[in-house]
A and B are shown apart, each in its own frame.
Chain A
Amino acid sequence: MSTIVTRAGKGSALTHTEMDANFTNLNNDKYQSGNTPYFYSQYLAAYIYHNGDTDSYMGYPSTDDWRVVVGGRQALRMDEGTDPDILQLVSGTSGGGTVSSTGRHAQYGTIPVLEQAQTISANYTVTNTLNAMSIGPTTIASGVTVTVGDGEAWTIV
């Protein structure tokens, strides 16, 4: 924050030097058009909007909850309270998905190859009403159980 000497604070009229110092301090500390803002450990607004756009933004609607909304549709969400390992890929019209940091991941890029762990090392239950797929060969680690519920399927390709 810039140092400013005010008349009220000083209790008497400011000198020319003090007036100049006020402007110099303000000038040194200002953000100017074209500058790259830099913030360090500052609390900002809960939502950051694209200029002029009211339905595309990134925000923290609640504690430990991060979301990206595009065109009014929630596209990404990571909620530490719900599941700290899951990045939710959310779509309001064509379904969504999740990317986990533990045991499951997809690599997208210039090479159209999906990668996946070779071993199921924690108990896994196919989510109700969904089917599951693994890139085989897939090994079930000792002490681990894979559960395929009624109406579900697990395909190892």
Chain B
Amino acid sequence: MAEIYLSSDFGLQWGNVTITPEELAENIFGIDFVDGLLVFDGVKVVNAPDREYITDSRGDRHMLTDLAERILGK
């Protein structure tokens, strides 16, 4: 499966999915975009086989497939 790349420049890349830093910050509690930089606090990024997700600072799990569909309509 694909690796998960995280960057303040492009946000999150996973396969052909790209979620911008602004979109990450808007959708995930515990991820902020401050002065052009991504800041993570109380967040877990898990790249489990066929179960890739981000757990936000509230403990809610966001599957990357759902996140991509919700944000990007993919």
Which positions in A face B, CB cutoff 8 Å? 134, 136-157
Interface string of B1-25 (1 = CB under 8 A from A): 1111111110000000000000000
Within 8 A of A (CB), among B20-45: 30, 32, 34, 36-45
Chain B residues with CB under 8 Å of A134's CB are 40
Given pairs A137-B40, A157-B42, 9 additional interface contacts (CB within 8 A) = A134-B40, A139-B37, A140-B6, A140-B8, A144-B8, A147-B6, A150-B3, A153-B46, A156-B30
Chain B residues with CB under 8 Å of A149's CB are 3-4, 47
Q: How far is the CA of A139 from the CA of B46 in the complex (A)?
A: 18
- Interface check B73, CB cutoff 8 A: no
Contact status B44-A156, CB under 8 Å:
yes
Contact status A142-B9, CB under 8 Å:
yes
A-B contact count (CB 8 A): 80
Chain B residues with CB under 8 Å of A144's CB are 7-8
Task: Provide the main secondary structure of the chain B interface.
Answer: strand
Q: Which residue of B lies closest to A157 (CB)?
A: B42
30 contacts between A and B (CB under 8 A): A137-B41, A138-B40, A139-B40, A140-B7, A141-B8, A142-B8, A142-B9, A142-B37, A143-B7, A143-B9, A144-B7, A145-B5, A146-B6, A147-B3, A147-B6, A149-B3, A149-B4, A150-B2, A150-B3, A151-B48, A152-B47, A153-B44, A153-B45, A153-B46, A153-B47, A153-B48, A154-B44, A155-B44, A156-B41, A156-B44
Contact status A156-B37, CB under 8 Å:
no
Q: How far is the CA of A17 from the CA of B60 in the complex (A)?
A: 93
Q: How far is the CA of A146 from the CA of B38 in the complex (A)?
A: 11
Contact status A148-B38, CB under 8 Å:
no
Q: How far is the CA of A136 from the CA of B39 in the complex (A)?
A: 8
Q: How far is the CA of A145 from the CA of B11 in the complex (A)?
A: 9
Contact status B49-A150, CB under 8 Å:
yes
Contact status A142-B36, CB under 8 Å:
yes
Chain A residues with CB under 8 Å of B39's CB are 136-139
